[in-house]
Each structure stands twice: as C-alpha cells, then as structure tokens.
Structure 1
Amino acid sequence: MDAVLWVVPLLAVTAPLLARGLSRWVSIPIVVFELLLGIMAGPSVLGWAGPSLFMGTLAQLGLAMLFFVAGSEIDFASLKGRTGRNATFGWLLSIAMGLLLGWLLAPGAAAVIIGVALCSTALGTVLPILRDAGEMRTPFGAAVGAIGAVGEFGPLLAISIFLGGRDLGPATAVMALFALLAGLAIWLSIRIPTGAMHRFINSTLHTSGQFAIRVVFLILTALLALSLFLRLDMLLGAFVAGVVWRLLMRDASEHDRHAVESKIEGAAFGFLIPLFFVYTGVTFDLAALIERPILFAMVPLVLVALLVVRGLPSMLAAPAGAGWHERISIGLLGATGLPIIVAVTAIGVSSGVLDPAMQSVLVAGGMLSVLILPVIAMAIRGARTPVEQGSTL
C-alpha cells in the first residue's frame, strides 16, 4: 500500500492539534503546520511519503474547493464604492509591477508567469484567519476580502488569457464565451425561485438526501467541466461556482445558511483543503533548493517581491481613516499568496517556459508568505491603538 495514502491524512489530523497546543503562546494558522508537516514527511526530509496519482487528484479537488469557498465568501458590497475601486486599482498596479519585474528576471513567456504569481492573494487561506479572529464583518475584514477577491479573480483571468495555449485574440474570445456562460449561470441563480428550494434544502439537512451538498458539487463540477472544455484554468470555474452558490443562498435565513455553510466547510476544511496543503508540502522539492544555495538565498527575495508588488498596492484599499497598524496589516495579508503561485508555476513548467528550479523558488516564497505574513499581520492588528480600534466599528 502506498504510504502517502495514510501519511497525508495523519498529518492533516496532526496539524490542528499542534495549532491548538501552541495557541496559548502564539496564534499560527493551521495551514502553516500542514505545509511544514508535509515537507517533513516528504522525500526531501524523512521520506515517509512521495508523489501519488490518487492523492494528487484529491489535492487538485482540494485546490478547487479552496477557490469555491473563496468565491462563496465574496461580499459583493465590499467591491462597490471606494474599497472596491481601490482594491481593483491596487491589483492593476500589482500586475504591472509584477510583469515588469518578471521581464527583468526572465524576458519572454516566463515573465508572465512570474508577474501573475507575484500579483496574487491567497483569499482562501486568509479568510479562515479572518473568520477565526472575528474580523469577517468589520471594515478591516471587508477591505481584506475585496483585496483577496480581486487578487484571486484577476490572476485567474490572466492565467486563462495569457497561459491557455492560445494566441491572445482566440484566448480573449474564449474568455468572453466563458464569461457569457458564467453570467448566464449567475443570472439563473438570481432568477430561480428560492423559497421551494430552501424548504427542500432544510428538509434534507439531517437526512441522507443532503440536497444542498449535492447541489454544491453539481455546480462545482459543471463549471470545472466548462473551464476544462474551453481550455481555461479549472480554478476559474471553481471560483465562479462559489459565486453562483452564494447567490442561490442569498435569501435563506441566517440560521439555514449557517447550517448549510457548516456542512460545506466541514467537507472543505475537514477533508479536501487540508489534503491539498499537506500534499503540496510532500511534493515540494526542498532538495533542489538545498543543493543550490543561490536558489535557497532567492526565496526571501520572493517574499520581499510579494510585499512590494502585492503588499504595498493592497494598502490603498484600507478603510477611510485607518491607522498605520491597520494599513500594514492589510498590506501583509494582501501579500500572502500560495494557491495561484502553485497553479501558475505548474502551468509554466508543464508548458516548458519555466525552469523547475524557478518554480521551487517561487513556491517556496509563497509558502514563506503563508508561514510568516498572516501571523505578523494579526499580531500587528491586535496591537492597535484605542483610536484605531474605534475606527473599525
């Protein structure tokens, strides 16, 4: 039996135990332990587990579920007005700076990959941290949510247009077709009578029917299939699926919506998403970095690049009147990136335009951002002055 089949679930169970055990001294996101445990168990350290086709497929489903949850958590109100405009403008600055830096490092197609990787924000990673800290309904949380939404959806569009294996013209046409079909799905989700559906969902919440969960996976697989059929990145379909589901549940009562969301989060954060992060650690090529010290030394530079390219522009979306503690926290959370970095560099390696060693450097930088930046951001957020605390009420 392939050891990875039991090692990865075992590590996924161990991660929250470690996080809880250390929580009395320091609050560290669970994803940090999932990544580190995966690296420790992988071929580069202990060698307990290695690449597996079956576990790799589950990890891809976990990645898709991560983006589904991110799409379902988007507060469209936060994308309107000043916050939405500044978040969008900040991302446009990020992609311009990222492409420029990518061109300086590796002219050609690799520049696009580097640029897209550096302008991403790990909304699916940041949202659980905000939820656990009770920040989802605050102006601070709304600003980070807007930054994360643009910082995930924008790179997904860029991946689909520039890295889909087509010329720019046909790629744009295909992207427009997907937007039309996705818009149709969103329109139907708004127009469909929700009363009867909500009643049926409620009647099956505690039975073997579980209609809500079945609808979620139907929407998810349908939009994933559409993305793959159009040769777009599947994460774009997963993200839009989350948006569609949120709109379907918009008129449900708070109690019913919470009941359904708890089941979805159980499947996502209790099963599929931890497998993705642990398996990412297992398959991470740490040996390549250790064997070439110059590459290992470049990893902190990737973190610095994320802070400059994505962190600084993210600060533009801070709530009006926010103090420096709040702006710095927002910038650090905006610079936290990993899933898009993993996805875009994998496309680059498979297409032959990105060196695997550079992929390891970029992914390591993304992992470092997840390991360090949220912890610092929430520590700074907790150290606000009384005036700054009052500004978020």
Structure 2
Amino acid sequence: MAVAVALGVLFREAAEVPEALPMQGLSASLVLIAVIAVVAPLATRLLEGWVKVPIVVFEIILGILLGPSILGWVQSTVFTDTLADFGLAMLFFVAGNEIDFAAIRGRPIYRASAGWVISLAAGIGAGFILVPSLEAAVIIGVALCSTALGALLPILRDAGVAKSPIGVAATALGAAGEFGPLIAISLFFSGKQLGVASGVLLGFVLLTGVAIYLASQARHTLFHAQVTATLHTSGQFAVRSILLILSTLVVLSMVLGLDMLLGAFAAGVLWKVIIARAPEADRKVIETKIDALAFGFLVPIFFIDTGIDFDLGALTSNTVTLAMVPLFLALLLIIRGLPSLLTAPPGSGRAGKTALVLLGATALPIIVAVTTIGREHGLITSGISSALIGAGMLSVLLFPLFALRRLRRTEAANPNPGTPEV
C-alpha cells in the first residue's frame, strides 16, 4: 500500500513538471500522425471507384486539417520534423534506386536534361518578374523547374505504365527534374562562392561516381551471401546496409555544404549498383522491404508533416497571395510542362504528349525543400512559400490524375501494345 502511494505521488509530481507537457504533445502528435497514415490509404481505396487520388494528397490534406491551420490537434515537433527529414531523404533514395538508367540513357535523358535547362532559365526569369530579387527569383525558378520523380514513380508503377515508352520518358523527366534542382540548390545556397561551391559539388560527384564505378566492377559475393543469410532473420543485413549507405552520403553532402537530398539520391543509385548482381528472388524481397520502410513509415510522415507545417493563414489572409496558387500552377504547366515535350517518344500522339506535359509539371518535394530554405533565410515570404507549396500539392492531385486518364482512354481506343501511347 505504501509503495502504491509512493508511486502515485511520483507520477503526480512528474505530471506537474513542465517538461512533461512537450512529451504529452509529442505523444498525441505521434498517435494522430499514425492515424492519418492509416486513414489516407483507406480514403484512396474508398474513392478509387470514382477517381484515383494519389495517397500523398490525402496525407497532406489531413495534415492541414488536423494541424495548427484548422483543428490544431497535431503540432509539429523537433522529433516529427526529424522523422520528416528522414522521410524526404528516403523518398529521394527510392527515386535514385528505382531509376532504370539503361532505359532512359541516350535520347530520353539528353532531351529531358535540355528541357530542364530551359525550364530553369524560364523559371528564374518568371521569378524575377514576380519578386525582383535575384535570390528569391532563383528559389522560385528552382521550384518551378522541378518534377516529383519520387511521387510519380509509385503512381506510374501502380498504374502499370512505368515500363511503357511514355513511362520511360516520364522517368527521364523526373530524373532531370529532381537531380537538376538538387545541383542548383547546392550551388546557389551552399554559402560559398560559386567557384568554390562548384568545386565542392564536382568533388562530391566524382567521389560518388568512383564509389558507383567500383561497386559496379565488384561481384560482392560475400556481401550477397550475408544478405541472403539474414534476409528472413533479425540480422536484416540488407536493410542495415541501406541505412548505412544513406546516412553516410547524406552526412557527407551536409558536411560539404551541399543539400542532403543530393546524398540521398546518390545513395539510391549506389545501392542499385551494389545489389544488381544479387539473386533475383533476394532483390525482390529487398525491394519489398524498402517499400515497407519508405512508404509504410518514413515517407508518409514527410507528407503529413508538410500538411501540418503548411501556413494556411498566410495563404488565405491576402487575396494577392491566394491568387498566386493558380498562377504558380499555370507556370508549372508552362515552364516545366511544355519543355517536357522534348522527351516525347517518336510517334507519340496528342494524348501521350499531353500526359508528358502533365507528368513533367507534377512537383512537390523539391518545392517544399527549396521554399523551406528560402523561408528560413528570409529570402521569400511565408505567403509565397505557401502559394508554391499549394500549387505543388494541386499538381500532385490533378496532373497525374488527368495524365493517366488520357493514357487509359488512348489504350482503350488503341489496344495494340506496340504503340508508344500504351
């Protein structure tokens, strides 16, 4: 009895400590974030009979609904922000790991890169017209020239068009639209002179390139044997190796003053090379584990946290700022979408080209990353940041939906699998 009373007093005193309040808020936020992560796929499944909405849209919208902007039930904390950063890094790791470089090499990637350069120049020009400041114009330009490869790949894969000619062209667009902005971010926002930043970036690329080359030449027999031996045990050597490669390259990129997403993207490419000669059955199991870790845990936290941090008040308090959302959405179509036509496969019809314009203009993760940098450094206002993110969310909601609808109509009208449209 005395022990029970003593424990009751102890717990009561602990509850009265001010530090317990942040922990209570963190506990509630973690539970509600988990609830959102479960509700989002259920909502997607519920509506797929009428309209196919990407799951990330529900994650962001539910984050806004339960976050400080509306209900205020979920608060962003240092811990959830850290998990969200891991989620963003994992999203770019998956993008680097899933790119089929053999499929996009040559014409697709060359034309996609040329289109991205055009988009970057046009985006910076549009940004300078809107906000006559070079730093702000660069932020807006980088945001407008991005393509959400990490968000597109699961959508294309789930729709069964990832391996089609249009899907390959969209992958090339996404590769240029994510890798290009990462380089631009690292060059312009590294805090170094442009020449020094270029040298550091070149050094990182060379170092990563050497690692990838050496990995491609080795057979990794012992490594693959260890992966096979622990694939279904608590050892999980493959997953632990992924986390080691990811954290090493992310930390290296940050130490060099580059954007961490560049390291995450490179880690995905490096892992793809390392595991390429493993038994096919093992590779499939590992891909399943990567999907579970990324899309079952970390990536949803990033998109939910994006909704929680979304400043709806800054967006709706000013009519001009609110009007920027459709403006930026239109600019994504013009600045990023139209140059995407350069990657259209030979013989593509109107539906395929329209789909490429829409898929190329689908952007969000880079927009979130670059606007966060700009807002934290005082280079753009919270309103412009919210308007860009709002346009990115609408692009993820609308553009893949319309693109896949056009492709399905064309496939139904022309079932010949030899045409570029399918």
Q: What TM-score do you get using the length of structure 1 for normalisation?
A: 0.97
Per the TM alignment, residue 236 of structure 1 is displaced from its structure 2 partner at its CA by 0.3
Residue 386 of structure 2 aligns with which residue? 360
Q: CA deviation at 1:389?
A: 5.5
Deviations 1:33-55 (A, max 9, x none): 11111111111111111221110
Asked if structure 1 preserves the Cα contact closer than 8 Å seen for 2:75 and 2:308, the reply is yes
Please say if residues 345 and 359 of structure 1, whose CA atoms lie closer than 8 Å, have aligned partners that are also in contact.
Answer: yes
Q: Give distance in 1, aligned partners of 2:74 and 2:302.
A: 14
Query: Which residue number in structure 1 is paired with residue 13 of structure 2?
Result: none
The corresponding residue for 1:39 is: 64
Offset of 1:387 from its aligned partner? 7.2
Spell out, residue by residue over 1:200-251, the C-alpha distance to the aligned partner (whole angstroms, 9 max, x if none): 2111110001010011000000000101100110000000000000111112
CA distance in structure 1 between the partners assigned to 2:392 and 2:186 by the alignment: 21
Compute the displacement of 1:188 (Å). 2.5
Deviation at 1:381, TM superposition (A): 1.2
Secondary structure, aligned partner of 1:25: coil
Q: Secondary structure at the match of 1:353?
A: coil
Partner of 2:137: 111
- Structure 2 residue 399 is matched with structure 1 residue 373: yes
The residue identity in structure 2 corresponding to 1:175 is L
Q: Tell me what 1:190 maps to.
A: 216
For the residues of structure 2 that align with 1:388 and 1:151, how far apart are their CA atoms?
Answer: 31
Alpha-carbon distance in 1 for matches of 2:115, 2:209: 25
Give the superposed CA RMSD: 1.3
The reply on whether 1:219 has 2:245 as its aligned counterpart is yes
- State the distance in 2 between where 1:86 and 1:337 align: 19
Deviations for 1:244-301, whole angstroms, at most 9, x for unmatched residues?
0011111223322111110011000000000000110011011111111221111011
Once residues 356 and 247 of structure 2 are traced to their aligned partners in structure 1, the CA distance between those partners, rounded to angstroms, is 33
After superposition, the C-alpha distances for 1:336-385 in whole angstroms (9 at most, x for unaligned) are 00110011111111122112211111111111111111111111111113
User: Quick check: 348-357 or 331-340, which moved more?
Assistant: 348-357
Contact 2:190 2:258 in 1 (8 A): yes
Q: Given the alignment, which residue of 16, 20, 24 partners 2:41?
A: 16
Asked if 2 retains the 8 angstrom alpha-carbon contact of 1:337 and 1:370, the reply is yes
Q: Is 1:91 matched up with 2:116?
A: yes
SS at match of 1:383: helix
The one-letter code sitting in structure 2 at the alignment partner of 1:77 is: A
With over 3 angstroms needed to count, the CA separation of the structure-2 counterparts of 1:51 and 1:59, relative to structure 1, is same
Give runs of aligned pairs for residues 224-239 of structure 1, distance below 5 A. Answer: 224-239=250-265
Mapped to 2, the partners of 1:9 and 1:388 lie a distance apart of 44
**TM-score, normalization: structure 2?**
0.91
Structure 2 residue aligned with 1:294: 320
Tell me which residue corresponds to 1:259: 285
Is 2:137 the counterpart of 1:137?
A: no
Matches within 5 A, 1:5-84: 5-84=30-109
The answer for unaligned runs of 5 or more in structure 1 is: none
Partner deviation per Cα, 1:10-36 (whole Å, 9 max, x = no partner): 101100011011112221111111111
2:419 aligns to what? 391
The residue aligned with 2:21 is none
Offset of residue 176 of structure 1: 1.2
- What is the identity, as a one-letter code, of the residue corresponding to 1:111? A
Amino acid at match of 1:202: T
Using the TM superposition, name which of 100-109 and 265-274 deviates more: 100-109
Residue 321 (1) aligns with residue 347 (2): yes
Matched, 1:100 2:125: yes
Counterparts of 1:323 and 1:270, CA distance in 2: 37
Q: Over residues 94-115 of structure 1, what are the superposed CA-to-partner deviations in whole Å (9 max), with x where a residue is unaligned? A: 1111111112122321111010
User: 1:137-196: per-residue Cα shift (whole Å, max 9, x none)?
Assistant: 221211111110010000000000011111111111111111122112212221232233
Gaps of 5+ in 2: 1-23
> Is 1:278–2:304 an aligned residue pair?
yes
Q: Distance in 2 between matches of 1:237 and 1:381?
A: 34
TM-superposition CA deviations, 1:298-328 (whole Å, max 9, x none): 1011100000011111121111111110111
- Are 1:146 and 2:164 matched, yes or no? no
Q: What percent of counterpart residues are identical?
A: 52
**Which deviates more, 99-108 or 270-279?**
99-108
Q: How many residues align?
A: 393
